[in-house]
Structures are given as C-alpha cells and as structure tokens.
Amino acid sequence: MITSQTSPQIPPKYLQEDDLSEECKKLLFILPKEKGWIGSCIYNYQGFWTSPRLIQGVIACQQQFQAQDSDIILVTTPKSGTTWLKALLFALINRLLHPIFEQNHPLLVKNPHDLVPFLELKLYVDGQVPNFSSFTSPRLFSTHLPYASLPKSVQDSRTKLVYLCRNPRDTFISMWHFSNSLRLHHLDTNSIEEMFDLFCKGVSLYGPFWNHILDYWKESIEKPDKVLFLMYEEIKEQPKIQLKRLAEFLECPFSIEEENCGVVDEILRLCSFENLSNLEVNTNGKLSTGEENKMFFRRGEVGDWKNYFSTKMSEKLNHIIEQKFQGSGLRFLYT
C-alpha cells in the first residue's frame, strides 16, 4: 500500500464537525453519506459531496450572497490549481493598484487564498454576514460549488465565472495527498486504493468530478461571455496564451506597452510554482482559516499520477472518463 504524509493540526473552521446549526444537523440525518476524505463522513447535498460544516456555508451563501455585475468568481474542482489561478487573477486584475514590479506586492507577503476568499468555505462558513467594505471593485471571489448550486444572483447577474479543472488522474493524486495531510487527527490515513474506488464512484470533494466539469463546460459553450473554461495542463503548456485569453475575457487585455515592458512574463513569474512555493509566507505561514500555506504547494506538475497509478487503475479511470465525457468534445492532457 502506498502511503501519504499526515500532519495532525487543528482543523480549519470548514472541517470542524461540532457546533453545527440545527438546520444542518437535521439535514445530516437524511442525506446520503459515505466515508470522508478529510473528516469522518462526507454527505451528498444538492447532488454533490461535501463535509457537514460546509453545508451550512453553502446554505448561507446561497441565501445571502448578492452578486454584482462587476464581480469575478473563480470556480474550480478542488486540487485543480486554485491557488495558482487565484494568484494569476489577483495579479492581473489589480495590476494598476499593485504594479507587478512593485517590491511589496501583496502576493509576496500573503498566500493567494487570503487575497481571494472562498465564498462557502470562508466568507459564509458559519452562516455569518460577511463584511465586504474592504473589497475593491471588481470584487474577486472563489468557490468550488457546482453550477446548479451557485447562488441565484451569480447565475442571474453579469458576474463573470472563470472555471479551472485538471486531468482526473493528477487531480485524484493531489486530492488524496491533500486530504490525508488535513485529515482529522483521530482518524486513520486513507489508503490510495480505498479513495480511488470512492473517486471512481463519484464520491470526491465536491464531486462527482465529471458532473462538476461537464456542467461548466456546457455553460462555457452556451455563454462564452459569462464562463471561461480553463485547464491546468493548458496553462502549463501555453502560459502566455492562456493568461492573455483570461485578460481578454475579463475585459482587461494587455496593452502593447505592457507586453513590451514584460508585464505578462512578470505576472507568470511571480505566480509560478517555483516563486510562490519558496516565499517565506508560503513555507512557514498559515492561512487565516488555519491551514499551513505549504500544503497548497506539493509538486505542481502534470503527470505525477504516473508515480502512483497501477495499470488497472489507469484502465478503470480511462473507461469511466470515456463514458462520462463521450460526445462532449472535452479532452484531458495527462503528460
């Protein structure tokens, strides 16, 4: 059995299983449940799998969040490179406020997750009313919510959605490592075999993985001005092209002067795995939600799955992916 590292610590708020709202406790009695990736159990709420406390964050966010037309929301499947894209988006959108060559750029002293907060995981996790007074326009948020579970105001407004996914094999390996390193200390480490079977059954964080991707893929085709569909591997392969595509989608394209001054290259350098993962804040710091920043930087490569997958696992997942994505026009890159 291959094992992954565990580092017991106080769980972040969104994983704490006590002190839940009455509404949430009642729901837990009736929702389908399975073995948890991080906590003891994972529950199926509105068709996706999530941990108990997050359910109350989802409910509060759906009831209260009022999207503005100028908002930008990054939506990702967990472990698809959210941290990277948060950094890229923050640097891109704020390049007038925080010039990219500035010595004390916020990304040098804060982890991207503290600059671009999650809606259901952070801002609404306790059902609280967040204070948006410190947000500058355009407001930048992120979420892992499936399309159908987004707050209605997000779907109805002109809010732009940037969607990021990653090939299922690397996503799975990254999720297995991450969830074991966050796993609540009284629980055993999850084996790769057991979690792979759950992933294939669709039981993964915010999964089923394929439903999440296909719903946003469809929206991106039907509403190309609202949803931009990005893939981790494509950004790795053609970073400049993808960053410029992102800037155009967000209606803040790079000027010729900016390109000539190296702004595009500098954003990519600042947000690169090598640069971010070696910053003091990301080697020794913690998020305001409690996680160690270094947990969000592991290898940052395409193809790490090869170090873990057996032929049988590869074949099984291929078969599922073929079935699920057949006819969609979507293709994943694995190397």
The residue (of 149 and 282) whose beta carbon lies closer to ligand A3P is 282
Beta carbons of 162 and 246 less than 8 angstroms apart: yes
The residue (of 24 and 163) whose beta carbon lies closer to ligand A3P is 163
Interacting span for ligand A3P (CB under 6 A) from 133-141, 254-262, 293-301, 316-324: 293-301
How far is residue 120's CA from residue 253's CA, in Å, rounded to a whole number? 30
User: Binder to ligand A3P among 108, 139, 273, 285 (CB under 6 A)?
Assistant: 273
User: Binder to ligand A3P among 53, 177, 183, 212 (CB under 6 A)?
Assistant: 177
Active-site annotation holder among 98, 105, 113, 144 = 144
Q: What track of x and - describes contact with ligand A3P for positions 37 through 76 (by CB under 6 A)? A: ---------------------------------------x
How far is residue 65's CA from residue 141's CA, in Å, rounded to a whole number? 11
Both tokens of residue 99?
A: 């010039």
User: Binder to ligand A3P among 266, 287, 304, 325 (CB under 6 A)?
Assistant: 304
Beta carbons of 113 and 83 less than 8 angstroms apart: yes
How far is residue 108's CA from residue 106's CA, in Å, rounded to a whole number? 5
Both tokens of residue 95?
A: 């390049």
Closest-CA residue to 192 (of 200, 247, 76): 200
Smallest separation (angstroms) from ligand A3P to the CB of 150: 18
SS3 of residue 290 by DSSP: coil
User: Binder to ligand A3P among 83, 167, 179, 242 (CB under 6 A)?
Assistant: 83
| 299 near ligand A3P (CB under 6 A) | yes
SS3 of residue 251 by DSSP: coil
Smallest separation (angstroms) from ligand A3P to the CB of 79: 4
105 is catalytic: no
What order do you get walking across the sheet with 160-165 strand by strand?
A: 140-143, 72-76, 160-165, 227-231
Residues in Cβ contact with 26 at an 8 Å cutoff, skipping those fewer than 6 apart: none
Q: How long, in residues, is the chain?
A: 335
The residue (of 27 and 108) whose beta carbon lies closer to ligand A3P is 108
User: Binder to ligand A3P among 73, 271, 279, 321 (CB under 6 A)?
Assistant: 271
Closest-CA residue to 239 (of 331, 172, 302): 302
70, 128, 134, 262, 263 from 269: Cα distances, Å = 27, 37, 28, 10, 10
Smallest separation (angstroms) from ligand A3P to the CB of 238: 14
| 176 near ligand A3P (CB under 6 A) | no
The residue (of 39 and 300) whose beta carbon lies closer to ligand A3P is 300
User: Binder to ligand A3P among 272, 292, 314, 332 (CB under 6 A)?
Assistant: 272
User: Binder to ligand A3P among 71, 114, 120, 170 (CB under 6 A)?
Assistant: 170
φ/ψ (deg, to 5) at 141 = -130, 170
Summarize as ranges the residues that interact with ligand A3P (CB under 6 A): 76, 78-84, 170, 174, 177, 271-273, 276, 296-300, 304
> What residues act catalytically?
144
